[in-house]
Amino acid sequence: MKQRPVQVIGVPLDHGAGRRGVGMGPAAMRVAGLDAALERLGAEVRDTGDLVIPAPETEASGRENARFLDVIARTCTQLAERVKDALDAGALPLVLGGDHSIAIGTISGIAAHLAPDPAGQRPPKLAVLWFDAHGDINTPETTHSGNIHGMPVSCLLGNGPAELTGIGFEGTKIDPARFAQIGLRDIDETEKRLLRESGIRTYTMADIDRLSMSRVMDEAIAMTEGAEMLHVSFDIDAVDPAVAPGTGTPRHGGLTYREAHLAMEMLADTGKVTSVEMVEVNPTLDERNRTAEVAVELISSLLGQRIL
């Protein structure tokens, strides 16, 4: 089967996070050799550059419980269109963040490409594997910070501001039965309840310790059966900060270097991955661009790099 061209889309958005810096993530990953790494894999690389996003200092922060909602909604709407166009053209969108609020745009664009049920009665046949230390399932009503990078999962389930839940089309973009979160270890009490009620499959670090990453990935991959597309959303804070220190919300006890690569290699072996995003790389908190280099290495494993 012919390999899809890889269309790189940079989204230098840090309005959804609690601290500045992740907006420089796309540049850091390019500096770390992303395009060259993809070309070594034999991929046709189409780097379309970055979306143009105003600095937070030039924008009103807006609602206290959904900070910078307007600019995030505009950015995610534009991103959804870019992702849909890439998929319509037969490319694999590789989205570089930026904070994790951009997933609202990425996944809404994929869902729109899949042409959902016109009556809006069921979400598109999209499977999502979401690697993250955090649940990202708060809403404006439950958030303690007002940071939208803690809300994308709820928005994609149709629970959130209309400016975000209506991107692409109104309503739910993901099916909880085809959505798995992997690497969880920092979840507040409200999020625990929301995750239990959501029907999403969750794998905490304790689950990975007990079952092994190999078994967790076998189960998560089995969950994707029947889906038309498979999206991988990777927050670099899923990886332990001893390996990837350059991120705004680091938590000890995360994925090891090899656990993260094994997960990516197993996904590559399926041949099913149709879109990817890598988020929350913050070079202002990094050590000589080390975290961006890890991110590029993980993307390479996901897109087919092999040890032998």
Q: What is the pTM of this model?
A: 0.96
132 is annotated as an active-site residue: yes
Amino acid 118: pLDDT: 64
Architecture field, domain 6-302: 3-Layer(aba) Sandwich (3.40)
113 is annotated as an active-site residue: no
Amino acid 61: pLDDT: 87
261 is annotated as an active-site residue: no
Amino acid 119: pLDDT: 61
235 is annotated as an active-site residue: yes
d(CA 233, CA 92): 13
287 is annotated as an active-site residue: no
Q: Which residues contact 172 (CB under 8 A, 6 or more apart)?
A: 123, 156, 157, 158
Amino acid 60: pLDDT: 79
Amino acid 19: pLDDT: 85
pLDDT by 10s per residue, the chain, length 308: 458 999 999 999 999 998 899 999 999 999 999 999 999 999 999 999 999 999 988 887 888 899 999 999 999 999 999 999 999 999 999 999 999 999 999 999 999 999 766 665 667 799 999 999 999 999 999 999 999 999 999 999 999 999 999 999 998 999 999 999 999 999 999 999 999 999 999 999 999 999 999 999 999 999 999 999 999 999 999 999 999 999 999 999 999 999 999 999 999 999 999 999 999 999 999 999 999 999 999 999 999 998 86
The catalytic position among 100, 113, 231, 261 is 100
Amino acid 124: pLDDT: 77
d(CA 143, CA 136): 10
The catalytic position among 149, 231, 240, 261 is 149
136 is annotated as an active-site residue: yes
Residue 112 CA: distances (Å) to CA of 18, 121, 130:
29, 14, 19
The single-letter code of the amino acid at 273 is V
Amino acid 1: pLDDT: 41
For residue 213, give the H/E element and its range. Answer: helix 213-223
Coil, helix or strand for 264? helix
50 is annotated as an active-site residue: no
The catalytic position among 280, 286, 293, 297 is 280
State how beta strands 201-204 and 179-184 pair. parallel
* Domain range annotation of the chain: 6-302
The catalytic position among 14, 186, 191, 235 is 235
231 is annotated as an active-site residue: no
Q: Are 6 and 43 in contact (CB under 8 A)?
A: yes
Amino acid 122: pLDDT: 67
